[in-house]
Structure 1
Amino acid sequence: MIKTILFDVDGVMLSEERYFDASALTVWEFLYSPQYVGLAGEEFTASPEEAQIRRVREQVFAHDEVLNFIKSRGINSNWDMVFLAFSYQLIRLIEVVKTQVPEATSLLVEQIDRPQLAKVKEWAATYAPDFQVDYAAFTADFAKGSAQKAEMLLYLNQIAKERCGIATEMFSRNSDLWQLIQKTFQEWYLGDERVAASIGRETMQPGKKGFLADEIPIVPPAEMVELFRTLKEKGYTLGIGTGRPTIETHVPLSEMNILEWFDPNRVVTASHVLDAEEAFPSFAPMSKPHPYCYVKGLLGLDAPISDAVHFSLPIENGEEVLIVGDSLADFLAARSIGCKFAATLTGLSGQDARSKFEEEKADFILDDVRDILSIL
């Protein structure tokens, strides 16, 4: 009998749309902002209007074909999505530049931060002024391999070898470039007023309003409040395992009066995952589909990180735990834990995801989170 229910947030309670918007804008900034690669052909602004955001999103993710592909390979982190999308275009650019600057390939062996991107900007302006970004090519190149989950990030090293003839291990979640991308994404999502509390510094390009105050609930907040109140009154222990950082979880869910129905000791976010990766770097990456955030939710935030990292899986009482999520990454995490899984058809693919979850034999498939009462 189910006793504990752990919920994902994006695609279950809140729409992922604004996260994908922020992801696309981050890729766009790295490619076209003068502070980064500064390619010609696009005029960058830190304060785009809604119509421009829609255009950038459609271009960067090729009408969401790239997004769907990345998620189908088990990637759930927006930070990883941005790292993949930008790094791929960076490799393509170096491939063009190296015909004039052979030593440019050595940059792909080093750690890449702002000084290295400044070099790329100079090379691009001088030797590849007509370079054309090809967002859709990402899917075709990655489809040649079978990389899944965290291996997707490492597969960039293979693409660098094929395109630039250079052996490298630079592309990984532990790289300086990944860290820079993560902080820049936070600038877009949190905006100028809130970003310092998250990343420890002000935004590098002022003018970003942030999306945190513009969240889109999947079902009316009042109905979610009633659902979680009912579940709590029935005696279920409620927790959260999300790829959102803590501030991006607490602020919108608190404003919608949803957070109060969850056990605060079991609200696990990407911030807690980053803490675990810092403490146990050899286990990184530990974002979904790694089961860490859900295991930590079972044990509680007051349990030592090491207990969750080394917890024996699958758990013995798997029939007592239910994970509710919208993605393959959530499903894979649940299977690692050995617990029940309920898929909600309110993620990026909507109802089209039903066949995939049927194929994977998810325990339950729900039109939206409100249907959970029908399976308990």
Structure 2
Amino acid sequence: MKLQRSKIDTLIFDMDGVITSEYIYWKAAALTVYELLYSHRYFGHQDLDKLWCRKNVSLIYDTVFCGGRTVTAVKHLGVNTNWDLAYLVFCVSTYLEPELTSFDLHHFEAVCMFIENIKIGPPALYTAAEGLAASASVVEIGYFKRTTGGLWKCLIECFQRWFHGDVEIKGLKLEEEPVLPLKEIEKTLRTLNQEGYILGVGTGRPKEEILFPLQMWGLDQYFDTKYCASYDEVSAAEKSLTPEQPLAKPHPFVFQKAAFGHLLSDEEIYYGKIPFQWPKKCLVIGDAPSDLLAARAGGFPFAAVLTGIEGKNARPYFEENQAELILNSMLELINNDN
């Protein structure tokens, strides 16, 4: 498949691993796991030195996520958000060693190996993770439940503090970088606009957190806000629709909302009122299995880019799952010959 204006008129971008680097999010997730496990405010026994943590964030990331190996394993399961990354690693860690005291690489290698051998994906994965943590801890029923339990609220609190910063520490968001040279990304988006494509966003990030880098880099001008959906829209739909399963990727809702939310209500999208032919005109661009699975579930053609955590090693997965386009990067959306 070649990108052709006669067949495709809208491009919906996942952001992390496509335009924005996800590395600082992984760092925030690692710090979140570290704080939940070791701070006396949560499940640990230490008086956490936040300045030391912030200074040694790379060490914490390399230890908690085994140099990125755990992140890769979690993404292979179809997990999309970095809140869920932290949630899954915390639950498995607690199951394997409920009274963790030392900051030990061997423990987190065991966590990684456990996750690498999991054979189920979301949403059943989250139910299983809740069960693992609950079996190893004496807490009230439902405490470890994703999205509604006490752990989830603490996890979000920790993550957002590390990402945004507070009176003690600078937020990691100040270190945000594009995944590719900014001038080349800008040129590609500008060219796609000039060629008549509508550009949108379908991301698991909260809206504020994706607007911050796009505005900082001057890229927001190329996206049509009517075609942008984030965690905020997904969360609002979950509250109003009360679906049996989460609407986060690999559910197609965020891409459907981005593409058709200006035309259809959340109820119409969720209950399948999207005309069959509409998704065929909209190309989803992503870097992860959860992006492909969500696009497939929504009937969208999918362009895989090899700028995620696995790089070119992700190509066999996208070939096996028949992505319509496989690109080295989003820069190849212009003048591509695939």
TM-score (norm 2): 0.88
Aligned equivalent of 2:160: 186
Partners in 2 of 1:312 and 1:304 — Cα distance?
9
Indicate which of 112, 119, 123 corresponds to 1:146.
Answer: 119
Partners in 2 of 1:210 and 1:216 — Cα distance?
14
Partners in 2 of 1:130 and 1:10 — Cα distance?
32
Using a 3 Å threshold, how does the CA distance of structure 1 residues 145 and 255 change in structure 2: closer, same or farther?
closer
Contact 2:78 2:250 (C-alpha < 8 Å) held by counterparts: yes
2:63 is the alignment partner of 1:55: no
Indicate which of 329, 336, 339 corresponds to 2:297.
Answer: 336
Using a 3 Å threshold, how does the CA distance of structure 1 residues 54 and 68 change in structure 2: closer, same or farther?
same
Partners in 2 of 1:189 and 1:161 — Cα distance?
27
Superposed CA deviations along residues 209-244 of structure 1, whole A, max 9, x for unmatched, are: 112221111222222222112111211111000111
Using a 3 Å threshold, how does the CA distance of structure 1 residues 225 and 177 change in structure 2: closer, same or farther?
same
Using a 3 Å threshold, how does the CA distance of structure 1 residues 67 and 278 change in structure 2: closer, same or farther?
same
Contact 1:47 1:209 (C-alpha < 8 Å) held by counterparts: no
Using a 3 Å threshold, how does the CA distance of structure 1 residues 371 and 50 change in structure 2: closer, same or farther?
farther
Offset of 1:370 from its aligned partner?
Answer: 0.5
Indicate which of 34, 38, 50 corresponds to 1:32.
Answer: 38
Aligned equivalent of 1:89: 93
Indicate which of 3, 6, 10 corresponds to 1:4.
Answer: 10
Superposed CA deviations along residues 171-217 of structure 1, whole A, max 9, x for unmatched, are: 3333221122122211111112xxxxxxxxxxxxx423112221111
Indicate which of 1, 14, 17 corresponds to 2:20.
Answer: 14
- 1:113-262 equivalence runs, <5 A: 134-160=107-133, 170-192=144-166, 206-262=167-223
Aligned equivalent of 2:240: 279
Contact 2:44 2:101 (C-alpha < 8 Å) held by counterparts: no
2:273 is the alignment partner of 1:316: no
Aligned equivalent of 1:117: none
Q: Secondary structure at the match of 1:149?
A: coil
Q: Secondary structure at the match of 2:72?
A: helix
Contact 1:160 1:166 (C-alpha < 8 Å) held by counterparts: no
Using a 3 Å threshold, how does the CA distance of structure 1 residues 151 and 185 change in structure 2: closer, same or farther?
same
Contact 2:199 2:223 (C-alpha < 8 Å) held by counterparts: yes
Q: Secondary structure at the match of 1:2?
A: coil
Partners in 1 of 2:181 and 2:73 — Cα distance?
29
Offset of 1:286 from its aligned partner?
Answer: 1.2
Offset of 1:34 from its aligned partner?
Answer: 2.8
Q: Which is worse superposed, 338-347 or 297-306?
A: 297-306
Q: Secondary structure at the match of 1:183?
A: helix
Q: Which is worse superposed, 300-309 or 11-20?
A: 300-309
Contact 1:221 1:258 (C-alpha < 8 Å) held by counterparts: no
Offset of 1:261 from its aligned partner?
Answer: 0.8
Offset of 1:144 from its aligned partner?
Answer: 4.9
Could you tell me which amino acid in structure 1 is paired with residue 32 of structure 2? T
2:312 is the alignment partner of 1:351: yes
Offset of 1:303 from its aligned partner?
Answer: 4.4
Using a 3 Å threshold, how does the CA distance of structure 1 residues 225 and 154 change in structure 2: closer, same or farther?
same
Contact 1:343 1:364 (C-alpha < 8 Å) held by counterparts: yes
Offset of 1:358 from its aligned partner?
Answer: 1.1
Aligned equivalent of 2:3: none
Superposed CA deviations along residues 239-277 of structure 1, whole A, max 9, x for unmatched, are: 000111111111110111111111111111112111111
Could you tell me which amino acid in structure 1 is paired with residue 94 of structure 2? L
Q: Secondary structure at the match of 2:243?
A: helix
Partners in 2 of 1:258 and 1:325 — Cα distance?
18
Q: Secondary structure at the match of 1:5?
A: strand
Instruction: Determine which structure has more spread, i.e. the larger CA radius of gyration.
Output: 1
Could you tell me which amino acid in structure 2 is paired with residue 172 of structure 1? R
Contact 2:94 2:133 (C-alpha < 8 Å) held by counterparts: no
Contact 1:273 1:287 (C-alpha < 8 Å) held by counterparts: yes
Offset of 1:49 from its aligned partner?
Answer: 6.7
Aligned length: 329
Partners in 1 of 2:243 and 2:76 — Cα distance?
25
Gaps of 5+ in 2: 1-6
Offset of 1:312 from its aligned partner?
Answer: 4.0
Offset of 1:345 from its aligned partner?
Answer: 0.5
Q: Secondary structure at the match of 1:361?
A: coil
Partners in 1 of 2:264 and 2:237 — Cα distance?
12
TM-score (norm 1): 0.80
The alignment's C-alpha RMSD in Å is 2.7
Partners in 1 of 2:116 and 2:101 — Cα distance?
29
Partners in 1 of 2:217 and 2:102 — Cα distance?
48
Could you tell me which amino acid in structure 2 is paired with residue 348 of structure 1? I
Offset of 1:51 from its aligned partner?
Answer: 6.0
Aligned equivalent of 2:68: 64
2:50 is the alignment partner of 1:46: yes
Using a 3 Å threshold, how does the CA distance of structure 1 residues 303 and 339 change in structure 2: closer, same or farther?
closer
Offset of 1:80 from its aligned partner?
Answer: 0.8
Partners in 2 of 1:80 and 1:284 — Cα distance?
15
